[in-house]
Amino acid sequence: MMRRREVAKRVFAYELLRSTHQIESEGLRYVLTPTGERVNRIFSVAVLLDKEEIGADTNNWRLRLADPTGTFYATVGKFQPEALEAINEMNVPELVAIVGKPRVFEGVSRKLISIRPENIVAVDLSVRDYWVLETARRTLERIEAMEKREGEDVELAWTVYDPDLNEYREMVKKALLTVKEDVEIMEKLEESPHEDEPEEEFDFEEFEFEEEEFDLTDLLED
Amino acid sequence: MSRAEKLTDQILERIKGKDVKVKREDILRRMKLLIEEFKVPESEAVRTIMNYLVREYGIPREELFDRDSPLVKIADISKVNQWVSLRAKVVQLWDSNSPNVSQVGLIGDETGIVKFVVWAKASQPEVEEGKSYIFRNVVTDSFQGRMQINVTRTSRIEEIDEDIQLPPREIEVVGSMVAIQQNSGLVKRCNECGRVLNKGVCHQHGKVEGYDDLRIKAVIDDGENVYEIILNEENIKELTGIGLDEALKIAHETLDRNAVLAELKNMLLGRYFRVKGLRGGRYLLVKEISVHKPKADDFNEILEALA
Ligand SMILES: [Zn+2]
């Protein structure tokens, strides 16, 4: 029987980093986040800060990524061929959209979360801006559900994490403010493309030239 | 009108238009005899007369006995194993990878859209997207919790000269393109039926040369639902600037047809799109698609709510 494709959830790095509880259900693995989201697949837009090959010529990469709320890790290997191909060709830093599966590992002193990307692709700022907007919306919806204590996963999140919801509200606010200014500038630019673009002045002082070489009068007359 | 007369006329109705001359008095006389004099049950009387027609007038048995299932609307289909007839338009056909299936897709009328499957064993004529038909004697079924229609050997598909209107089930979603599925990019289609070839093979028509086309099967994910969509050449060109000609050029220059898909993935994956389309069965049928960007007001709205 065909299984319905799992939806890619929107979660900020700040919340993702604090997600340590895994749920197994009907053969699928989910990570439960502190605001009660059940995540099998994630969609994130972040800056790829660093890519590091784990061991020489292994073609296993550890990626460090950051969104406006925090930094998280992803690992790419041969089982993610599309992402691997993209990573091999990508230079850092680069703004990327990433679809992948979160996994929780037992570290030495604590649990760590990492993403296994299915695909990763360079995108422009407007994608990041919209992602922040929709992730903010989703997170606030979840915070509301937590307050109303709606649903099984919400109850579980309270039990496992007992989160300070104001902390998450603050995080959402911070993310929105970081990006808002950017969006406003883009809007202004689109309305009047040249208004805010000051002509850059060329600094002739540092430039020595021999007049003859730059006399193009002959060319113009031709 | 007497009961005998009524039944006689119903029988005559069945053979109307068929090239046989049957005398009404002849049938009526027999009917009266059977029902009024001999008190035979109606069903037995009808059966006896039908047999008589087959014998005496040479009318093919199946034309008389194969009674068509009632004509129903799609919205009224709710039980499995019901034999029905539908007047419906073929909304969309999609590729089937099962050799048992000849065609699979969606049909719709004014009341709804439903998946339909034409089994290969049914040996039915192929239907085309956008055309309307009467699907006679099809059987209802359910698959993964949804109703579907099976076209079998006893079904009959007749094209009708009428454009059946579909229900307004248009929806609009803003979501990210999180995946582009296999069999996307520069594809080859069967010259006979237009279906996408798999390694040069059409499952209906075998190995054919095929012709080039550009299409994308993608997944749009809005964080709450996933929508599978199919983009045609026109959609793709509008979004990426790459049409069929450019795609062929890329394939030619790189000596790799897959290079087209790689290029399209780079340009489309991870981006947000606003998609307007019809929600039906497996696919969201795209009517409009455009890149989506955020507005400053959207941010202010949430920030105010947060304050
Ligand atoms: Zn074919």
C-alpha B149/C-alpha B156 separation (Å) is 13
Average pLDDT estimate for A176-182: 89
CB atoms within 10 A of CB A111: 13
Residues in A touching B300 (Cβ below 8 Å): 180
Domain of residue A144, CATH code: 2.40.50.140
Name which of A204, A111, A45, A61 is nearest B178 in CA terms: A45
Q: Which CATH superfamily is domain B74-160 in?
A: Nucleic acid-binding proteins (2.40.50.140)
Of B223, B265, B294, the CB nearest to A129: B294
What local confidence, expressed as pLDDT, does residue A162 receive?
97
| C-alpha B127 – ligand 1 centre gap (Å) | 13
Q: Does residue A177 sit at the B interface (CB-CB below 8 Å)?
A: yes
Q: Is-same-fold flag (B74-160; B170-305)?
A: yes
User: Which token pair is B34?
Assistant: 């059977």
| Residue A73 domain flag | yes
What local confidence, expressed as pLDDT, does residue A200 receive?
58
| C-alpha B197 – ligand 1 centre gap (Å) | 8
Burial class (CB in 10 A: 0-12, 13-18, 19+), A162: exposed
B170-305 carries CATH number 2.40.50.140: yes
Name which of B90, B120, B94 is nearest B107 in CA terms: B90
With vertex at residue A200, the alpha carbon angle to CA A197 and CA A204, rounded to the nearest 5 degrees, is: 170
Residues in A touching B284 (Cβ below 8 Å): none
Q: Does residue A173 sit at the B interface (CB-CB below 8 Å)?
A: yes
**Largest Cα–Cα separation, chain B:** 91
What local confidence, expressed as pLDDT, does residue A212 receive?
41
Asked if residues A34 and A163 have their Cβ atoms less than 8 Å apart, the reply is yes
User: Which token pair is B179?
Assistant: 């995946």
In percent, the amount of chain A with pLDDT more than 90 equals 68
> For B191-246, what is each residue's pLDDT tens digit?
988 888 988 899 889 999 999 999 999 999 999 889 999 999 999 999 999 999 99
Q: Which of B224, B263, B266, B302 best probes binding to A when mutated, by most A CB atoms within 10 angstroms?
A: B302
Radius of gyration of chain B measured on its C-alpha atoms:
27
Show which of residues 124-153 on chain B sit within 8 Å of chain A, judged by CB atoms: 144
Q: In which residue are the tokens 């009266």 written?
A: B32
Q: Does residue B219 sit at the A interface (CB-CB below 8 Å)?
A: yes
**Residue ranges for chain B with pLDDT beneath 50:** none
C-alpha A42/C-alpha A50 separation (Å) is 20
Q: Which of B148, B272, B291 best probes binding to A when mutated, by most A CB atoms within 10 angstroms?
A: B272
Complex ipTM over 0.90: no
Cα B26 → chain centroid: 45
pTM: 0.65
| Residue A203 domain flag | no
What local confidence, expressed as pLDDT, does residue B232 receive?
93
- For the packed helices B233-240 and B258-268, what is the interaxial angle rounded to 10 degrees? 60
> For A20-77, what is each residue's pLDDT tens digit?
999 998 889 999 999 999 999 999 999 999 999 988 888 899 999 999 999 999 999 9
C-alpha B22/C-alpha B298 separation (Å) is 76
Q: Does residue A157 sit at the B interface (CB-CB below 8 Å)?
A: no
C-alpha A164/C-alpha B237 separation (Å) is 48
More confident residue, A207 or B91: B91
| Residue A214 domain flag | no
More confident residue, A207 or A182: A182
C-alpha A175/C-alpha B265 separation (Å) is 28
Spatial CB neighbours of A202, under 8 Å, sequence gap ≥ 6:
none
SS3 content of chain B, % helix, strand, coil (to 5): 30, 35, 35
| C-alpha B113 – ligand 1 centre gap (Å) | 25
C-alpha A51/C-alpha A58 separation (Å) is 13
Nearest residue of B to residue A100, measured between CA atoms: B178
Distance of CA A145 to CAs A148, A152, A158, A159, Å? 5, 11, 11, 15
End-to-end alpha carbon distance in chain A: 75
Taking the CA of residue A129 and the nearest CA in chain B, the distance in Å comes to 7
The domain spans of chain B are 3-66, 74-160, 170-305
What local confidence, expressed as pLDDT, does residue A160 receive?
97
Nearest residue of B to residue A122, measured between CA atoms: B266
Task: State the total domains in chain A.
Answer: 1
Taking the CA of residue A77 and the nearest CA in chain B, the distance in Å comes to 19
User: Is 90 exceeded by the pLDDT of residue A211?
Assistant: no
Q: Which domain holds residue A160?
A: 9-180
Of A5, A97, A172, the CB nearest to B306: A172
Taking the CA of residue A3 and the nearest CA in chain B, the distance in Å comes to 10
- CB-based contact A130 B302, cutoff 8 Å: no
C-alpha B43/C-alpha B55 separation (Å) is 18
Query: Could you tell me the pLDDT band of residue A210, with boundaries at 50, 70 and 90?
Result: very low
